[in-house]
Amino acid sequence: MDLWRYFLAVMLFMARLLLLTAYSWQTLVAANPAVTLEVWYTTHCPNCQELIHYGLLPLVEAGLPGDQVEILAHPWRNGQNGPDGLYQPVPGDFTSIGHMCAFRDALPMPAPIDSPSLKSAVKFLACDMDDLIIPGVKRDANSVSKCADAAGLHWDGPDGIKACAEGGPNAKGYELMHSRAYTDLVQAASSHIQVEAVTPFVFLNGDLLECSGPTHCVATVNQQGQLVPLATPGSLLEVICSMLSPKPAACVADGTSAAGESSAATTTEKKFHPACENCAEVGKFHWAPSSQMVWPATIVPFCASAILLLRFVSAKGRRQQHSHSLLGGNIGSDDVADSADVDASMSPCE
């Protein structure tokens, strides 16, 4: 009987342990989504407008689960940090401050992709960026108000985007950018840019995403500045769907949308402007692969060889001149000038 009770106690303990392990695993999965996507943009950047309209908006509207995918969307800074160590907004950030006001209910970011506040903010962002960038479209208080209404956000009123954005350093929107949270996010993003890049900056699980256009991404850039090809290149939705397992209802096996249509197929494939004059640029020095370092690798030994050759010729000339002087010759002023030229020619390599 005692043995039987002992056996039951052990089995009960094992069952509790299995339940605890399963609960802990589910908690860990929920706390660590499979994909975190960051989109950093500037408000006068055509490439940013296209990525938001054709890439980010369809992704957010696809219906992916928030426990598997999280999104961060923020405007990139136009200024620098102030004496207090926090980002100091400048006049060029006024439009960005308005966007931060639209995002305030979705903060902190990254936020679950199925967050209603995030969806509304991205809809507003896409609408306002279209008005800001598309030629011939007028952007004014009326257009911004219409974008807010279409996204289910308030423009007027004490809790509206307008009241949040206006007021200079005393405005709530200014405070959102002049904050430790925003400053730390920008610094973290900057630390992951290992190559020269222009906005939009898109990060997939912390790595810079290389996209040829708003609907076609091909690789990530690792911390060594090397391109790592994506297993499934394509739109943001296709790339992220390919990374989820098991696949949610919004995805199908090939990474397209649940409707069976690829975002690239429903939209004429666009290419980013190679020279985006109004896109913010970040330069990060990185060591080039050995195949890209032909010039530095060959010029150093070349200079060293040139120095030795010049010194040999110079020494030989001086011996000949000395021999001539012993035979009754002398070193003229021209020879002295030639010697000075040789020394001068050696200085860049030395």
The CATH number of residue 206's host domain is 3.40.30.10
Dist CA 9 CA 169 (whole Å): 65
What percent of the chain shows pLDDT beyond 90?
A: 60
pLDDT score of 192 more than 90: yes
Last residue of a domain, one of 242, 264, 287: 287
Residue at 15 is within a domain: no
**Could you tell me if 40 and 163 lie in one domain?**
yes
User: For 11-33, what is the mean pLDDT?
Assistant: 54
Residue at 18 is within a domain: no
Residue at 279 is within a domain: yes
The domain in which residue 342 lies consists of 291-346
pLDDT at site 223: 87
Helix, strand, coil content of the chain in percent (nearest 5): 50, 15, 35
Q: Say what the pTM is.
A: 0.70
pLDDT score of 113 more than 50: yes
The total number of structural domains in the chain stands at: 2
Tell me how far CA of residue 89 lies from CA of 76, 94, 114, 176, 309, in angstroms. 11, 8, 30, 10, 59
**Could you tell me if 278 and 315 lie in one domain?**
no
pLDDT at site 7: 65
Residue at 23 is within a domain: no
pLDDT score of 309 more than 50: no
**Could you tell me if 180 and 206 lie in one domain?**
yes
Dist CA 171 CA 165 (whole Å): 6
Residue at 247 is within a domain: yes
User: For 226-232, what is the mean pLDDT?
Assistant: 95
**Could you tell me if 219 and 324 lie in one domain?**
no
pLDDT at site 32: 73
**Could you tell me if 322 and 243 lie in one domain?**
no
**Could you tell me if 186 and 136 lie in one domain?**
yes
Residue at 8 is within a domain: no
pLDDT band for position 278 (cuts 50, 70, 90):
low
**Could you tell me if 269 and 295 lie in one domain?**
no
pLDDT at site 171: 96
Last residue of a domain, one of 247, 263, 287: 287
Last residue of a domain, one of 249, 271, 287: 287
pLDDT at site 83: 97
pLDDT score of 343 more than 50: no
**Could you tell me if 297 and 240 lie in one domain?**
no
**Could you tell me if 227 and 283 lie in one domain?**
yes
**Could you tell me if 50 and 182 lie in one domain?**
yes
**Could you tell me if 89 and 214 lie in one domain?**
yes
Query: What tokens were used for 60?
Result: 């957010």
Dist CA 218 CA 234 (whole Å): 7
**Could you tell me if 79 and 93 lie in one domain?**
yes
Residue at 210 is within a domain: yes
Dist CA 10 CA 19 (whole Å): 14
